[in-house]
Structure 1
Amino acid sequence: MKKVVIIGAGFAGLHIFYKIRHLIGDKIDLTVIDSRSHALLKPALPEVAFNGEPVSHTLVELKPTIESKDGNFIQDEVININAKANTLTLKENGNIEYDYLFITLGAVKDYDSVKGFREYGYSVCDDYQAQRLWKRIQTFKGGHIVTGAAKSTWGTRVKAPNLAAPCEGPIGEIMFMSDYYLKHEKSMKSPDDFKIDVFTPGKVFFEDVGDNPRNTIGKFMQERNIDLHVNKVLKEIGKDYIIFEDETQLPCDLAIIIPPYTAPKALKDSGIGDEKGFIPTDTKMRHLDFPNIFAAGDIAALAQPKLGHIAIIEASIAAATFLKEEMGENVEIPPHNLEVFCIMNMGGHEATLIFSNVLYGGNIDIAFHSPLARLMKWGFDSYLYFSRGNIPPEFALKALEKIIENLA
């Protein structure tokens, strides 16, 4: 019986668990380790931040989810990985041995690297920050809102797009949903009562897609008097301003940011990541130096942008590689063909679905704006919650892609 350990129970970790759990008790002993008691369904967090939805709708309790499928769950923090000895060190539970390790820890949102964030900044990146923002937006009396992503930096061991921002989809939701909330719930007018400015560290906004989604988003921004500032690297958040590395400033009464992404300290300390701590893998998601280690999701160096859909693609590849090459199962390993797929909630019944692979040399570049897109996002979030983080099967996702191509 092989000891298989998954560290991190986000999208990628749970997807791998569901993919390989049929081997439990036959070929593998499977343990999932996470520092949290609940998995966080992040796509639903803007609903918490701007609609006041219960945070409980974004949480999946891990212990019953894992143990009901005959897996083992340990709530603990990984503090070290000794890849040569096939051993993990946990903060409370000591050492855990493994034969195979899946690293799906995700990236750390480094709020503390942004001067002034703890005093004046807000975000939607986790359940605590989303609830905090909901309290703030309800008391907002008007003025300047500034939102954008701080710059992140990446390693160089693998060939992946070098994006300035890890993911700007949430910024789209922040700007459109805050605009909708203030106009419809607080009867404010723009730009008389409030003004929204958006910044990006990149040369263009949404650098991970092509012109069609960018132009569509740009049109909606223009209609709402939302101004864009490019090549702006966040330096500091003040009480009534935001300052950038080029020393330019914007007036700011409410700053809502995506902080820099960094690797967990345990990975940096263990020396199994690239120069930034992210895990270098081949396109089968196998570690370049340790063949019994796999990685998927935001912590994988190949994952650019850091996006839930890409986490699922890579988790499927990692699981299939393990099943075929290590367990001898007759399965097909999917190709590492990445694509950007997200549904941007815009408030009310509006949403824009984005589906693009131009970043990776493809020719799909779709932006589909419709109440149907909003319904699709609601359906996806609901399915994810009630299935305990079990993403719809591949045939459903492929069918959805075909529908999207025909609709656009």
Structure 2
Amino acid sequence: MMVLPPFRGPRFLRETPGLTDAKGFIPVLPTYRHPDFESIYAVGVITQLKAMEQTPIPTGAPKVGLMSEEMALAVAHNIALELGVISGCQNKPTLQAICFADFGDTGALFLADPLLPDETGHRHRALTYNGIWVSWMKTGFEKYFLTKLRLGWTIPWFERWAFRAIGLPLVEPIIPSPQLIQVKG
């Protein structure tokens, strides 16, 4: 049996009026900007992601490292737009997840595209594989990731190419919807 304390945001954030929800998670718009504080963006586990369904034990939505990278890429792009460094549309993360779980002599790999299903409960794809090879892949990925950090790389061209090759873009543009124009007559 395993018992964990409730997962929540840090106290200093929870104690800031209007910044977080009751559990200490920061609400975000699709751009990952706070809806009420224009100068605040949030990425990673601190963001408020609502689970698609209520369960007897409130678990919330899972968050994995790839999702945090996607959020950070979108936020960096959106801040660069705001500062006038680049032009174009705002981006949002795709919230797709790939996770390697190591269980000693075996492992599990899951891919969820997207992690949170749509309103009808569907995903584009959800795959799970298991075997000792997953543990080996996780070890190899950890070595690659740490090397990438030491070199100061974020997402090199070949990594972006690999994600695109398997159909996982990390961010997507937010296409503005046409505004309804009221004609007074």
TM-score, normalization: structure 1?
0.33
- Determine the structure 1 residue equivalent to 2:124: 363
How much identity, in percent, do the aligned residues show? 26
1:353 Cα offset (Å): 1.1
- Determine the structure 2 residue equivalent to 1:393: 156
Asked if the contact 1:323/1:331 (under 8 Å) is kept, the reply is no
Q: Which amino acid aligns with 1:376?
A: M
Instruction: Pick from 361, 366, 375 the counterpart of residue 136 of structure 2.
Output: 375
1:396 Cα offset (Å): 0.9
1:371 Cα offset (Å): 4.0
The range that moved more, 350-359 or 315-324, is: 350-359
Gaps of 5+ in 1: 1-145, 148-256
CA-based RMSD: 2.8
Q: Report whether the alignment pairs 1:260 with 2:17.
A: no
1:388 and 1:264 mapped to 2: Cα distance? Answer: 26
- Determine the structure 1 residue equivalent to 2:28: 281
1:276 and 1:312 mapped to 2: Cα distance? Answer: 23
Q: Relative to 1, partners in 2 of residues 1:400 and 1:318: Cα closer, same or farther, differing over 3 Å?
A: closer
Q: Report whether the alignment pairs 1:352 with 2:98.
A: no
Tell me the alpha carbon deviations over residues 43-76 of structure 1, each in whole angstroms, 9 at most, x when there is no partner.
Answer: xxxxxxxxxxxxxxxxxxxxxxxxxxxxxxxxxx
- Determine the structure 2 residue equivalent to 1:238: none
1:402 Cα offset (Å): 4.0
1:266 Cα offset (Å): 0.8
Question: Counterpart of 2:128 in 1: which secondary structure?
Answer: strand
Asked if the contact 1:263/1:278 (under 8 Å) is kept, the reply is yes
Q: Report whether the alignment pairs 1:339 with 2:100.
A: no
More helix by share: 1
Asked if the contact 1:384/1:391 (under 8 Å) is kept, the reply is no
Tell me the alpha carbon deviations over residues 243-294 of structure 1, each in whole angstroms, 9 at most, x when there is no partner.
Answer: xxxxxxxxxxxxxx44321111111122221233211110111111111111
The range that moved more, 310-319 or 257-266, is: 257-266
Asked if the contact 1:339/1:360 (under 8 Å) is kept, the reply is no
Asked if the contact 1:284/1:321 (under 8 Å) is kept, the reply is yes
1:331 and 1:375 mapped to 2: Cα distance? Answer: 41
2:157 and 2:62 mapped to 1: Cα distance? Answer: 21
1:330 Cα offset (Å): 3.8
Q: How does 1:82-101 map to 2 (within 5 A)?
A: none
Aligned length: 150
Asked if the contact 2:32/2:92 (under 8 Å) is kept, the reply is no
Asked if the contact 1:343/1:354 (under 8 Å) is kept, the reply is yes
Greater RCO, CA 8 A, separation 6+: 1
2:111 and 2:72 mapped to 1: Cα distance? Answer: 19
Q: Relative to 1, partners in 2 of residues 1:308 and 1:282: Cα closer, same or farther, differing over 3 Å?
A: same
1:288 and 1:392 mapped to 2: Cα distance? Answer: 28
1:311 and 1:394 mapped to 2: Cα distance? Answer: 19
Question: Counterpart of 1:294 in 2: which secondary structure?
Answer: coil
Q: Relative to 1, partners in 2 of residues 1:351 and 1:398: Cα closer, same or farther, differing over 3 Å?
A: farther
1:402 and 1:346 mapped to 2: Cα distance? Answer: 28
Q: Relative to 1, partners in 2 of residues 1:316 and 1:258: Cα closer, same or farther, differing over 3 Å?
A: farther
Asked if the contact 2:96/2:112 (under 8 Å) is kept, the reply is yes
Instruction: Pick from 49, 73, 76 the counterpart of residue 302 of structure 1.
Output: 49
1:384 Cα offset (Å): 2.4
1:305 and 1:318 mapped to 2: Cα distance? Answer: 20
Gaps of 5+ in 2: 51-60, 169-185
1:394 and 1:283 mapped to 2: Cα distance? Answer: 25
2:157 and 2:14 mapped to 1: Cα distance? Answer: 34
